[in-house]
Structure 1
Amino acid sequence: MKHLLSALSLGFAMFAATLVQADERPDHYKGKPSNTLEQAVANFSEYNQRLKVLLAAELTPLAMVEIHELTYTLEVALEKIHSETAKLKDTLEEVHVASEHMDMASAKRSGDVYIKAAQTLVK
């Protein structure tokens, strides 16, 4: 146990020194992938809950390392959500334009795509 604590302390010290010295953020963790909007929303929900639990407790060096690691997954999830909601906005605009032109087929097609994606966000 003593060796584990020493290793964690050393690891955190190295991590903190890297953060202070680096002009750019270190990119040593990849984060859990978010290949689909569904995955991104699931990861976002799960990792926000983990972050909430960590922030509610005492912020120790170990907790800070855990927070640092899980933020990578949150960033990946947010990037995917952002890219997918930009597409979602475009799809909604297609529905809007179709409704203005009474283009029922386009409204139905784009509307179904929009609703499917939108429902993923509110689960």
Structure 2
Amino acid sequence: MATIERTAAYPRFPKVLATRDLQACYTPLPDQLEWARRSSRRDRPQLGLLVLLKVFQQMHHFPSLDSIPPAVVEHVRAAANIGPAVRFGHDTQASPTLFRHYAAVREYLGVKP
């Protein structure tokens, strides 16, 4: 029987993410790292873009940023060699970057909204 994370209309993150799942599902590929570097000049937007990309690939939608497990963010951060001082998140009040990142991820993956 399928787990609740897989059966919902919008899949959810499991309560515990195994290391092998993080490595298999959330490790950015070299071409994805290069795409993020070309798309954003600084580490914070690169981290946000890569996390959104990997999450969208697994979930097939953009969940709220608060629902993304810290383990996913930290795994992507380590894989991209982005330091721990770089904060994950988007300031939607001051910048439309989050919505540009949504559009960039969809374009990169060839997904229409």
Global fold match (TM > 0.5): no
Instruction: Name the structure where helix makes up a greater proportion of residues.
Output: 1
Larger radius of gyration: 1
Q: TM-score, normalised by structure 2?
A: 0.28
Give me the TM-score of the superposition, normalised by structure 1. 0.27
